[in-house]
Copies of this chain bind each other. A is one copy, B any other.
């Protein structure tokens, strides 16, 4: 992509209104645009990041045999009444249709997926089932001041599992936990993300959150220094020692964090609300046991920015960067432009995703913009580098740069970037 063609541009001054670090950086760098508090547009660069995060999650959900579907946001009042959440769930956005029917906007989808699966699952032979979607959720939040960390409209992956027994749920719950670790690892967040005990509702004593340690996190977690399990604020008062290694809670370390995902055993609360049962091998009707598993897709984008940045801008991990390489031409001489054009073509041909800053701007503006946008590799071509038949390469995450001969560029990048 030639940067001169991109309609977005970096912005120096975005006003005082946006206080969150993630949204400020993303707006300044041209990844998102703020329409209202907690409501953002994803601009071309931001949409590329969002889709990459989405695809990583999709691959890991497919790998644990979950089937993708897509449910609507509009959902009838009666579905929410069946589970007593029409009045019970404060964050529901409600609206009325010309047909005089009332709807809620999906803040979560147990009320939709449960009656849906009831139409396809009858016997123990039809179980277990795992389905998921990647879809925009709506939550009527009183306050939405944390950028992508708390959206009124936000992209989420929600998976629901259906089982004949608690044992079967437990097995899948473990599998999902592993899948979540893999997602965090691919996003570059594994070392900062803690499996965190949280309140479990009626069916299970605990649920589990995946909390990523960030300075501006809205949550407080307490990390056991020995086994790295964490406990959230909700339940810390009930805890005396680590459930795993018995370390005393006095030694836990308090940290601010943001919840990138959660997994929850639902029991048969929702299946029973919709009279969704299965027939066992003895012909007896039995309760269906459910689990649910969420990951905040757009929130993950916010968390990544909160984690990977410096005073100059964002530092994207290569797995989700909108482009691998930021190719920058310095100087307007024909021979420079001709050479950079040819390098650009070769890089694209080699399969790299390249943002090519071909704009007629000063070196200062181009290099500052490049730091702000935060692609993993910066390749500068100038009169100076061309004297050495070279490109100056710098990783966004490192200070040093090096000159690489143009003829060696392909080989160098092959050693750096694994294309899929």
Knowing A68-B44, A74-B138, A76-B35 touch, does A95 contact B93 (C-beta < 8 A)? yes
Whether B69 lies near A140 (C-beta < 8 A) is: no
Instruction: Quickly give the copy total for this chain.
Output: 2
Question: Given the known A-B contacts A120-B8, A153-B72, are A37 and B99 also in contact in the complex, defined by CB atoms under 8 Å?
Answer: yes
Name the residue among A69, A112, A140 with the largest chain B CB count within 10 angstroms.
A69
Let me know if A131 is at the binding interface, CB within 8 A. yes
Residues of B within 8 A of A39 (CB): 72, 74-75
> How many angstroms between the C-alpha atoms of A359 and B73 in the bound complex?
33
A21 vs chain B, min Cβ distance (A)? 20
Q: Is A97's beta carbon under 8 Å from chain B?
A: yes
Interface size on A, residues (CB 8 A): 57
Tell me if A67 and B93 are in contact (CB < 8 A): no
Inter-chain CA distance A98–B93, complex, in Å, is: 9
Are B41 and A116 neighbours in the complex by a CB distance under 8 Å? yes
Bound complex: CA of A358 vs CA of B163, how far in Å?
A: 23
Whether the pair B119, A33 counts as a contact (CB closer than 8 A) is: yes
Q: Compute how far the CA of A119 lies from the CA of B42 in the bound complex, rounded to whole angstroms.
A: 14
Whether the pair A41, B72 counts as a contact (CB closer than 8 A) is: yes
Kindly state the separation between the CA atoms of A95 and B144 in the bound complex, as whole angstroms. 17
With A50-B70, A95-B95 already in contact, the answer to whether A120 and B9 are too (CB < 8 A) is: yes
CA distance in complex: A116, B138 (Å): 21
Q: Which residues of chain B have C-beta atoms less than 8 A from A90's C-beta?
A: 98
In the complex, whether A63 has a CB less than 8 A from a CB of chain B is no
Q: Which residue of B lies closest to A121 (CB)?
A: B7
In the assembled complex, the Cα of A105 lies from the Cα of B97 at a distance in Å of 12
Whether the Cβ atoms of B98 and A70 lie closer than 8 Å is no
Provide the A130-146 mask, 1 if CB < 8 A to any CB of B, else 0: 01000010101111000
Say whether B93 contacts A70, CB under 8 Å: no
Query: In the complex the two chains form, is B71's CB within 8 Å of A44's CB?
Result: no
Beta-carbon contact of B116 and A33 below 8 Å: yes
In the complex the two chains form, is B70's CB within 8 Å of A41's CB? yes
In the complex, what residue of chain B is closest to A95 when comparing beta carbons? B95
If the complex has contacts A95-B95, A140-B97, A152-B97, are A41 and B71 also in contact, measured as CB distance less than 8 A? yes
Point out the residues of chain B lying under 8 angstroms from A11, CB to CB: 119
A5 and B65 CA atoms in complex are apart in Å by 9
Residues of B within 8 A of A99 (CB): 37, 142-143
Smallest beta-carbon distance A361→chain B, Å: 13
- The answer to whether the Cβ of A420 comes within 8 Å of any Cβ in the partner chain is no
Within 8 A of B (CB), among A72-102: 72-76, 79, 90, 93-95, 97-99, 101
- Check: A47 CB closer than 8 A to any chain B CB: yes
CA gap between A141 and B290 in the complex, in Å = 35
Residue of B nearest to A67 (CB): B44
Query: Using Cβ atoms and an 8 Å threshold, which residues of chain B touch A279?
Result: none
Residues of B within 8 A of A9 (CB): 120
A73: contacting residue among B50, B94, B136, CB under 8 A: B136
Task: Decide: A36 and B103 in contact? CB cutoff 8 A.
Answer: yes
Residues from chain B with a CB closer than 8 A to the CB of A103 are 36
- Residues of A112-167 at the interface with B, using a CB-CB cut-off of 8 Å, are 112, 116-117, 119-121, 126, 129, 131, 136, 138, 140-143, 152-153
A43 CB–B CB distance under 8 Å: yes
A42–B70 touching, CB < 8 Å = yes
Q: Give residues in A with beta carbon < 8 Å to B.
A: 5-9, 11, 33, 35-37, 39-44, 47, 50, 65, 67-76, 79, 90, 93-95, 97-99, 101, 103, 105, 112, 116-117, 119-121, 126, 129, 131, 136, 138, 140-143, 152-153
A-B CB proximity, top 4 nearest = A42-B70, A95-B95, A98-B142, A41-B71
5 additional A-B pairs beyond A35-B75, A95-B95, A97-B152, beta carbons within 8 Å, are: A7-B129, A33-B119, A72-B136, A73-B73, A99-B142
13 contacts between A and B (CB under 8 A): A7-B67, A33-B119, A35-B74, A35-B75, A35-B79, A36-B75, A37-B99, A41-B69, A41-B70, A44-B68, A44-B69, A93-B97, A99-B142
